[in-house]
Structure 1
């Protein structure tokens, strides 16, 4: 494991994988404000050393949402929740801007902020026991973490309205069918498989992943005509990139492409 600095107790960088602990078993697996803040800072400070991002909870659940007991104890609940949301949204913005793929290992419950992070991941792995729930209406709240933006783009606006307004509990099979979870593995394999996938991505063609994520981001507002121009320019750049040259040469030479030497981590 690469030791980053002592201040990163909830974040680690190993084999190019930036692991961010977004919840622990403490406080019922609620969103860990320290892990959130450290993740935001690490994404900014570690830069090109990151080959992939892994979002994880260390307890039986991925993340059960915000610390509701903390909300209740705050002298000014609105101000307290605003601070929590500001901290959380710093991470959401940093993840959305990340040039590398984001993997989430979603064991147990992903509720509230936890579900928002699942919707933000590029690839989210769950198990048969995984359950997702917006959870906001149950306590009289509205969504944060981008859920009102990401969920309609994953499941469609009509389905998103029903899920949010009825505070639906989504089982693993339904979440996978809707595309919120990418695929299911055994419950006892979720964390190991998520880490394996993040490690495989971290030694892959990072410049191609960056190009793909850029194109997907641009497609949010582009017309098809503009998107085709962006794709043509992007694939031309990729063809002349070290990763593109290695990939094409390996294909022609009938060998497995080796992108690892191209990485700085």
Structure 2
């Protein structure tokens, strides 16, 4: 399988294979801990793919022994307040842009996902993890609260009571427990992780991208709306999707009793 790799900045690799864009965190010597250059590279890469409507699925991966160990402690130790401010300013611009894209975002997790790495994983639309992956929110061990959207995503996934337990105790847990808690979607053997991720990315990249975007927005915003507000939002998005080429293709395929072929438009 041929891949074209563009080195956006040393700590991050942006790869394209057809309609799939992969963001590879590339600081393996630090378990891909986020420092300012990596955060800046992530923002640049997200801006690039957000402006490219041929991207129909996004994959987050980490090079080396783990997905991401969290924030770079050397950055924070040198100047805690300034380091945290600069780091989070970049990440807080990148994350909403990444999550607002129509393209589904898939996280492929292995080794370790801790701190900001776990927070980032929680923001993805679909998560696959290798057997034996270790998870820990970890912030409390450093005497700080969480970041990168963890306090938004975690209670939506597991409920307030369990979210507080995970955050306040910050005890480590493995992939099987993450699956039981519905923090991830699937656990696979480490040797099969790449193939399983590629398969789900290709499936999603061939789907109705605009409808995916509408579905993501509806589900993620539902807890902040009344029923009537949600019904109105659903009606607005359904009418919008009804005007797309993909909806017409889906209708024609239904009546022809054939699989639909979507083009993301």
TM-score if structure 2 supplies the norm length? Answer: 0.90
Counterpart CA distance in 1 for 2:186 and 2:4 is 31
The residue that corresponds to 2:109 in the other structure is 106
Counterpart CA distance in 2 for 1:216 and 1:173 is 25
Alignment of 1:179 with 2:208, yes or no, is no
The DSSP-based 3-state class of the residue aligned with 1:229 is helix
Judged with a 3 Å threshold, the aligned counterparts in structure 2 of structure 1 residues 190 and 45 are, in CA distance, closer, same or farther, namely same
Aligned to 1:50, which of 33, 55, 60? Answer: 55
Counterpart CA distance in 1 for 2:5 and 2:175 is 35
Alignment of 1:190 with 2:193, yes or no, is yes
Alignment of 1:167 with 2:170, yes or no, is yes
Aligned to 1:251, which of 247, 251, 254? Answer: 254
Aligned to 2:143, which of 135, 140, 145? Answer: 140
What is the CA RMSD across the aligned residues, in angstroms? 2.1
Aligned to 2:119, which of 116, 121, 124? Answer: 116
Asked whether the equivalents of residues 35 and 87 of structure 2 are also in contact (C-alpha less than 8 Å), the reply is no
The DSSP-based 3-state class of the residue aligned with 1:103 is strand
Q: Which consecutive residues of structure 1, in runs of 5 or more, have no partner in the other structure? A: none
Asked whether the equivalents of residues 118 and 135 of structure 2 are also in contact (C-alpha less than 8 Å), the reply is yes
Q: Which consecutive residues of structure 2, in runs of 5 or more, have no partner in the other structure? A: none
Deviates more, 1:36-45 or 1:142-151: 36-45
Alignment of 1:212 with 2:215, yes or no, is yes
Judged with a 3 Å threshold, the aligned counterparts in structure 2 of structure 1 residues 250 and 181 are, in CA distance, closer, same or farther, namely same
The total of aligned residue pairs comes to: 260
Aligned to 1:36, which of 15, 24, 39? Answer: 39
Shift of 1:137: 1.1
Counterpart CA distance in 1 for 2:226 and 2:246 is 28
Counterpart CA distance in 2 for 1:137 and 1:203 is 41
Asked whether the equivalents of residues 15 and 199 of structure 1 are also in contact (C-alpha less than 8 Å), the reply is no
Counterpart CA distance in 1 for 2:7 and 2:177 is 41
Asked whether the equivalents of residues 6 and 15 of structure 2 are also in contact (C-alpha less than 8 Å), the reply is no
Counterpart CA distance in 2 for 1:52 and 1:187 is 22
Judged with a 3 Å threshold, the aligned counterparts in structure 2 of structure 1 residues 57 and 2 are, in CA distance, closer, same or farther, namely closer
Judged with a 3 Å threshold, the aligned counterparts in structure 2 of structure 1 residues 36 and 98 are, in CA distance, closer, same or farther, namely farther
Shift of 1:4: 8.1
Asked whether the equivalents of residues 11 and 38 of structure 1 are also in contact (C-alpha less than 8 Å), the reply is no
Counterpart CA distance in 2 for 1:13 and 1:131 is 28
